[in-house]
Amino acid sequence: MGASYPHMFLILLLLRGANAALKSPAGPKWQTLSGGPPLVIARGGFSGVFPDSSQFAYQFALTASLPDVVLLCDLQFSSDHIGFCKTGLTLDNSTTVSERFPKMERTYKLLGEDVHGWFSLDFTAEQLVQNITLIQNIFSRPSTFDDSLGMYTLDDVVELHPPQIWLNVQYNSFFLEHKLSSEDYILELPKDSLSYISSPEVEFLKSLAGKLKKAKTKLIFRFLNENVEEPSTKKTYGELLKDLKSIKAFAAGILVPKTYIWPLKKDQYLAPSTSLVKDAHALGLEVYASGFANDIVLSYNYSYDPSEEYLQFMDNPDFSVDGVLTDFPSTASGAVACLAHSKGNPLPPPGKDTRPLIITHNGASGVFPGSTDLAYQQAIKDAADIIDCTVQMSKDGTAFCKHSADISSSTTASVAFASKASTVHEIQNKSGIFSFDLSWSEIATLKPSIISPFAQAGMLRNPAAKNAGKLMTLPEFLDLAKASNITGILIEIEHASYLAKRGIGVVEAVSSALTKAGYDKETKQQVFIQSDDSSVLAAFKKFARFRRVLNIEAKISGASKPSVDDIKKYADTQPTGRQHHRVCRRTQERVHEPRLRLLR
């Protein structure tokens, strides 16, 4: 097995992480046509990780999804009329066929256009099974399992005994031109072996409907892009969309690109939803949406969270689609089983036996510019437990919240105060515009800027709010926190010794602000003071109610008891980043022995 499947450990790791026990949630009635939860339809199995339509993709989809997950097979035929599952008409982008059979490239007509490549109908089933292996057809996805899995037939999928199988017949006319009939193939299958059959061809579905009258199989009409012409009616799919009543005559439902339901504007924000789902439901047509994946560019409305996109389609106040076609069925399953119908439900209180604290990073800095009033308000609205303020100082001693003393990238300072740029090696090795070189009256004129860590890859954060909100002084931050129902605040203090050399007392400013706001006597909200400077934490030891957090940037792979005891002199809590999560058990035990807490 080690030779054949060198990445079995990764499979086992994925299986461990999958929630195989997900169950369809009980609770409020869904707005689907049936009133039940939307279906999760796995396109080619778990094709977001494994090669499309491979054994591992289908098996993992069954393991990592809701119990009633639907496995979708895109039908292709070998020359001897054996049905294979493979997305797309040509094989060269998703298999090793071009390497095994370099002279078998062909050109065929599809809807009047020339298509070049390698086609399944030029090979026998034995040739496909014995010689060709699968590769990931989207190059940004893992290639870990490339060239290790063979092509999968529809019969292979049936033998997995999935709850439901969806057969998508995308190229019926093409194969029929080459004397390979999809209809004959389907009619020879065991009765009711397929739960759903979809196709973008009207006449094919009409013909099939007349011969499957007593079967339980649902026929689904698949819409392509609105400007594409449907071959049998010679109408565009946009025109057919306006006559759903005619679709109802031969189909139980429709499968549409998700933009048919929630269109995208040119600026990548959502336009208002169409009435398609409601119109279809009124006629008794189910509506399934396609085009879902975790690793594609989403609307800015979703803040790069694919779960939010699923909820938009299934848990909005007006309607719910009847199912989603996805490359990542575990994410869709989690949205259905765990997240839907949860809006407004209070979280359990944080604690050892319930859940960890939810601590912000400059407020909701993925939605609004960090450390602004809007970012903090959004974080509170999103049920954060702790909101944070990294304290910076102006040259005239005003304490305010910003993630770095260099404010050139997080504000419009690089334009307004370009002449103030300098290099302060005690802070960073590159040039910047530092808050302690500007008065508060100067800083207050600046607009905040949202920071997009992956901007070079084209992944911007909420451009519509690029400069929204206003900077907050520390007293303003404390007033906002006091007026909210959060669990507490985290105040981070940086570069105290350098600021002291410049005659700016950040420790004194923070102590004074906390005392004036009444946090020295506060009992409802916890105060965390975080710093990488032990002398700063020692200065706050006089505040008995405060928790002191020692920030250690170095990677922690072990901790001796004397080291932990030394940390305990200055702090009772220590944060660990994501890169530190593999702290060994012995290290955790040593940390916890003297009641030193870990924040992650």
Tens digits of residue pLDDT in 288-320:
999 999 999 899 999 999 999 999 999 999 999
CB atoms within 10 A of CB 415: 10
269 pLDDT more than 90 = yes
Distance CA 134, CA 44 (A): 12
Please report where in the chains the tokens 């292996």 appear, as a residue: 133
pLDDT in tens, 383-406: 999 999 999 999 999 999 999 999
Q: Show the tokens assigned to 163.
A: 């709850």
CA distance 54 to 65: 17
Q: Answer yes or no: are the C-beta atoms of 565 and 594 closer than 8 Å.
A: yes
The per-residue pLDDT of the chain, averaged, comes to 90
- List the one residue out of 408, 484, 485 whose CA is nearest residue 446: 408
pLDDT digits (tens, 9 = 90+) for 470-492: 999 999 999 999 999 999 999 99
Give 158-207 pLDDT, tens digit per residue: 999 999 999 999 999 999 999 999 999 999 999 889 999 999 999 999 99
Superfamily of domain 373-551: Phosphatidylinositol (PI) phosphodiesterase (3.20.20.190)
E strand intervals along 112-182: 113-117, 152-153, 164-168
Between the alpha carbon of residue 204 and those of residues 146, 181, 419, the distances in Å are: 35, 10, 71
Please list, in sequence order, all residues whose beta carbon lies within 8 angstroms of the beta carbon of residue 317, skipping any fewer than 6 positions away: none
State whether residue 163 is helix, strand or coil: coil
Tokens representing 209 are: 């409907």
The pLDDT confidence band at residue 352, using thresholds 50, 70 and 90, is: confident
What are the start and end residues of each CATH 3.20.20.190 domain in the chain? 34-88+134-339, 373-551
Instruction: Give the model confidence (pLDDT) of 103-121 as tens digits.
Output: 999 999 998 899 999 999 9
Strands 39-43 and 70-77: parallel
The percent of residues in the chain predicted with pLDDT above 90, rounded, is: 81
- Please compute the mean of the pLDDT values over residues 16-23 and round it to a whole number: 44
What length does the chain have? 600
- Asked if residue 32 lies in contact with residue 38, where contact means CB atoms within 8 angstroms, the answer is yes
- 354: Cβ–Cβ under 8 A, 6 or more apart, which residues? 348
CB 57 within 8 A of CB 46: yes
What are the φ/ψ torsions at residue 332 (nearest 5 degrees)? -65, -40
DSSP state, residue 565: H
What pLDDT, on the 0 to 100 scale, is given for residue 551?
87
With residue 126 as reference, give the H or E element that holds it. Answer: helix 125-131
Place of tokens 């397929």: 194
| Nearest residue to 284 (alpha-carbon basis) of 255, 323, 240, 247 | 247
CA torsion sign for 301, 304, 307, 310 is: positive
Tokens of residue 18, six digits: 């999958």
Note the helical H segments in 265-400.
276-282, 306-314, 329-334, 373-381
Residue 595 CB neighbours (<10 A): 9
* pLDDT interval class at 17 (50, 70, 90): very low
Cα separation of 553 and 486, whole Å? Answer: 27
Structure-token match 């980043």, residue found: 577
Please tell me the CATH code under which domain 34-88+134-339 is placed: 3.20.20.190
At residue 346, the pLDDT reads 79
pLDDT-derived band of residue 574, with 50, 70 and 90 as boundaries?
A: low
Mean pLDDT, to the nearest integer, of 249-258?
Answer: 97
Three-class secondary structure of residue 232 per DSSP: coil
d(CA 363, CA 384): 9
Distances from the Cα of 133 to the Cα of 78, 128, 376, angstroms: 15, 8, 51
Are residues 142 and 171 in contact, defined by beta-carbon separation less than 8 angstroms?
Answer: no
Residue 580's pLDDT is 44
Global model pTM greater than 0.75: yes
Contact 321, 31 (CB under 8 A): no
| pLDDT at residue 254 tops 90 | yes
| pLDDT value at residue 353 | 74
Q: Dump pLDDT digits (tens) for 447-459.
A: 999 999 988 888 8
Question: Residue 268 has which token pair?
Answer: 């990548």
- The position carrying tokens 């302060």 is 424
More confident residue, 3 or 142: 142
Where does the pLDDT of residue 566 fall: very low under 50, low under 70, confident under 90, or very high at 90 and above?
low
pLDDT number for residue 589? 40
Query: Is the confidence at residue 236, as pLDDT, over 50?
Result: yes
Is the confidence at residue 537, as pLDDT, over 90? Answer: yes
pLDDT at residue number 2 = 38
For 314-349, the pLDDT digits (tens) are: 999 999 999 999 999 999 999 999 999 988 777 788
Query: How far, in Å, CA of 186 to CA of 167, rounded?
Result: 9
CB within 8 Å of 251: residues ≥ 6 apart: 205, 209, 219, 220, 221, 285
pLDDT attached to residue 348:
81
pLDDT value of position 590 = 39
Minimum mean pLDDT range among 159-163, 174-178, 497-501, 566-570:
566-570
d(CA 356, CA 2): 39
Average of per-residue pLDDT across 69-96: 97
Residue 216 has pLDDT above 80, yes or no: yes
Torsions phi, psi for 441 (to 5 deg): -65, -30
DSSP per position, 445-470: TPPB----TTGGGT--S-GGGTT-S-
